[in-house]
């Protein structure tokens, strides 16, 4: 028996499209310098089990090894930042903004707030962690 469809999404041009057949975590905003440099601000993302993610279009999906621990999946056509995954992990992070609306998700935490830029404040009442 297959799991029910939970979410669909894509990059801006649709070259990378996916379905999630399983649970998604609450959204967390990462304020580390790497996320800031790949998104232009912070990365709001949700997670799902690797086995719950199904790519329905992936011709333009490229992976960039952004550290010794992880890589980022993006669209080589539009540049959309779609995925983040730690090597050997059982979960993958999905950029929350790429999920088709309505998402039914809620932002519940901010991580790496000690690295955030000085041009904004975090005042939404969600939990804050200087590191993850």
Give residue-wise pLDDT tens across range 5-23.
Answer: 899 999 999 999 999 999 9
In a domain, 76, yes or no: yes
Please give the pLDDT value at position 79. Answer: 98
Q: Where are the alpha helices (DSSP H) in the chain?
A: 33-39
Beta strand pairing call for 27-30 and 107-111: parallel
Which of these, 46, 41, 43, lies nearest to 94 by C-alpha position? 46
Are 102 and 85 contacting, i.e. CB atoms less than 8 angstroms apart?
Answer: no
- Domain with 19 in it: what CATH number? 2.170.150.70
How many independent structural domains does the chain possess?
A: 1
In a domain, 2, yes or no: no
Please give the pLDDT value at position 1. Answer: 45
In a domain, 1, yes or no: no
Structural domain harbouring 73: 7-128
Please give the pLDDT value at position 11. Answer: 98
In a domain, 121, yes or no: yes
Please give the pLDDT value at position 132. Answer: 72
Q: Read off the pLDDT of residues 41-95 as tens digits, 9 standing for 90 and up.
A: 999 999 999 999 999 999 999 999 999 999 999 999 999 999 999 999 999 999 9
Instruction: Please give the backbone phi and psi of residue 52, each rounded to the nearest 5 degrees, phi first.
Output: -90, -10
Strand (E) or helix (H) holding 62:
strand 61-65
């Amino acid at each position: 028996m297959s799991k029910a469809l939970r979410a669909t999404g894509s990059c801006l041009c649709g070259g990378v499209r996916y379905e999630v057949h399983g649970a998604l975590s609450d959204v967390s905003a990462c304020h580390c310098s790497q996320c800031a440099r790949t998104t232009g601000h912070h990365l709001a993302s949700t997670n799902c089990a690797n086995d719950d993610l199904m790519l329905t279009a992936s011709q333009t999906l490229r992976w960039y090894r952004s550290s010794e621990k992880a890589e980022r999946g993006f669209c080589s056509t539009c540049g959309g930042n779609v995925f983040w995954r730690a090597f050997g992990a059982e979960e993958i992070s999905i950029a929350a903004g790429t999920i088709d609306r309505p998402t039914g998700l809620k932002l519940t935490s901010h991580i790496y707030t000690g690295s955030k830029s000085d041009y904004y404040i975090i005042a939404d009442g969600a939990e804050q962690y200087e590191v993850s």
